[in-house]
């Protein structure tokens, strides 16, 4: 890489990190632009008039809303890694060169992209390709993923390295009840955690959907949904990848395992009537803070309580720890609800029944026996 090109890459990298990860909290130059800035040499010419700065800020909000925070963090990290690899190999980042990108994904698959010599999975490589395409597009430059240097190499990587997906273990009803018993009902933290587990299971919710809920509509800027408690159950309105959807959660047969009763108890004793539904418990567990929980808390909660309850105790401890995460709740509902599949599909917000079936674990796979049904 030439000195000028290296300086350009180094100057460009902080821009995209600021834009993607900070989204409006970067430098004054970044705030003045409604889209990720061009490389440093041309940035000054792109400055908007002062009377358009308000619109630029609003446009930046819309850019942020177009993708999740996790996606933006991943794209920023992938771009930084690619820039570092190009610098070490002495190759140009600009303009986008399919041959260079083909070599980069080859290094990813062979474990030579970073110092740890650990090959990246096929799904990780595909995400990084998407990251590069997106990052280049923000600079007004197109990366042709269909070019033979990328497409052919990627096809070979899929054929040679693709493996069946490692699915998280489903938490079934009996497992969930045992997990609830590991939580202290006499503490605010215990009440909150019980409500999150029951709501996540009964609603078939993703971990981000659980923590993104507010007590009501339009109460926070970072909320992704809200609840409405009704006589017969709970109505959850969610903003998902494909638009808004509603999830109905009925009352349970027992107050101990009823998600609605448990949630009402948490709201009452936590004195929560407005804003984020699930928050941090502070002051040695005696007070409820104002901050919304991070979605990682759901994954940690599921894993911690599943291990404490002895779920899948037939497996070694180290192996059990890798089985449980937030998706275990969604998979548990899909695997255990004895209703028409289309109702489960609607609850999970899946576009196809095939996707719903992928969530069904630890079930009788031969419940429908086509061999006998055919007369054999």
Q: Which range is least confidently modeled, 56-65, 137-146, 151-160, 281-290?
A: 56-65
Confidence of residue 363 (pLDDT cuts 50, 70, 90): low
Q: What is the pLDDT of residues 335-357, one digit of tens each?
A: 887 667 776 677 777 577 677 66
pLDDT at 118 over 90: no
Q: What is the pLDDT of residues 201-251, one digit of tens each?
A: 999 999 999 999 999 999 998 999 999 999 999 999 999 767 899 999 999
Query: 327 is written with which tokens?
Result: 């998706």
Measured CA to CA, the distance from residue 163 to residue 355 in angstroms comes to: 18
pLDDT at 31 over 60: no
Higher pLDDT, 6 or 181: 181
Mean pLDDT of the residues in the chain = 83
pLDDT at 144 over 80: yes
* Of the candidates 271, 270, 268, 250, the residue with the CA atom closest to the CA atom of residue 260: 250
3-state secondary structure of 10: helix
User: Any bridge partners for residue 249, and if so which?
Assistant: 234
pLDDT at 108 over 90: yes
Q: What's the pLDDT at 261?
A: 96
Q: What's the pLDDT at 367?
A: 61
pLDDT at 39 over 50: no
Q: What's the pLDDT at 137?
A: 94
Confidence of residue 321 (pLDDT cuts 50, 70, 90): confident
Q: DSSP per residue over 288-341, as a string?
A: EEEEEPPTHHHHHHHHHHHHHTTTTTTS-HHHHHTT-STHHHHHHHHHH--S-H
Q: What is the pLDDT of residues 281-311, one digit of tens each?
A: 988 888 999 999 999 999 999 999 999 999 9
Query: 66 is written with which tokens?
Result: 């177009």
Query: 332 is written with which tokens?
Result: 């548990």
Consecutive H or E run containing 123:
helix 122-138
Q: What's the pLDDT at 353?
A: 65
Q: What's the pLDDT at 8?
A: 44
Q: Which residues contact 177 (CB under 8 A, 6 or more apart)?
A: 257
Q: Which range is least confidently modeled, 44-48, 139-143, 292-296, 347-351?
A: 44-48
Exposed e or buried b for every residue in 179-209, given b needs 16+ CB within 10 A? bbeebeeeebbbbbbbbbbbbbbbbbbbbbb
Contact 357, 217 (CB under 8 A): no
The residue-averaged pLDDT of 89-109 equals 96
* Tokens 């995209």 sit on residue: 16
Q: What's the pLDDT at 350?
A: 57
Q: What's the pLDDT at 54?
A: 85
Q: What's the pLDDT at 38?
A: 40
Give the best-scoring range by mean pLDDT among 46-60, 154-168, 257-271: 257-271
Consecutive H or E run containing 49:
none
Q: Which range is least confidently modeled, 73-82, 83-92, 108-117?
A: 108-117
Q: What is the pLDDT of residues 150-182, one digit of tens each?
A: 999 999 999 999 877 778 889 999 999 999 999
Confidence of residue 30 (pLDDT cuts 50, 70, 90): very low
Contact 337, 359 (CB under 8 A): no
Q: What's the pLDDT at 253?
A: 92
Q: What's the pLDDT at 18?
A: 40
């Amino acid at each position: 890489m030439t000195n000028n090109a290296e300086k350009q890459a180094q100057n460009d990298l902080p821009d995209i990190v600021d834009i993607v990860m900070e989204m409006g909290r970067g430098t004054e130059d970044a705030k003045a632009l409604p889209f990720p800035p061009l490389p440093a040499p041309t940035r000054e010419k792109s400055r908007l008039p002062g009377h358009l700065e308000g619109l630029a800020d609003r446009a930046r909000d819309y850019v942020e809303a177009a993708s999740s925070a996790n996606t933006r963090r991943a794209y920023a990290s992938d771009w930084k890694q690619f820039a570092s690899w190009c610098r070490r190999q002495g190759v140009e980042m600009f303009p986008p060169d399919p041959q260079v990108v083909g070599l980069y994904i080859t290094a990813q698959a062979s474990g030579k992209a970073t110092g740890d010599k650990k090959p990246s999975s096929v799904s990780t490589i595909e995400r990084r390709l998407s990251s590069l395409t997106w990052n280049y597009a923000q600079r007004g430059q197109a990366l042709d993923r269909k070019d033979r240097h990328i497409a052919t190499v990627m096809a070979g990587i899929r054929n040679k390295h693709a493996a069946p997906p490692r699915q998280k273990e489903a938490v079934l009803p009996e497992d969930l009840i045992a997990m609830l018993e590991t939580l202290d009902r006499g503490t605010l933290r215990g009440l909150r955690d019980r409500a999150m587990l029951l709501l996540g299971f009964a609603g078939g919710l993703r971990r981000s959907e659980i923590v993104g809920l507010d007590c009501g509509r339009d109460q926070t800027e970072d909320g992704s949904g809200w609840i409405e408690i009704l006589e017969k159950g709970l109505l959850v309105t969610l903003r998902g990848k494909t638009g808004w959807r509603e999830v109905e959660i009925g009352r349970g047969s027992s107050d101990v395992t009823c998600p609605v009763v448990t949630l009402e108890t948490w709201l009452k004793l936590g004195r929560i009537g407005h804003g984020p539904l699930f928050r941090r418990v502070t002051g040695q567990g005696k007070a409820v803070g104002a901050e919304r929980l991070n979605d990682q808390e759901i994954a940690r909660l599921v894993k911690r309580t599943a291990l404490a309850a002895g779920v899948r105790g037939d497996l070694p401890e180290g192996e059990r720890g890798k089985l449980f995460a937030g998706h275990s709740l969604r998979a548990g509902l899909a695997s255990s609800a004895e209703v028409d599949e289309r109702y489960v599909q609607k609850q999970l917000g899946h576009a196809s029944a095939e996707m719903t079936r992928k969530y069904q674990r630890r079930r009788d796979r031969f419940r429908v026996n086509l061999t006998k049904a055919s007369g054999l």
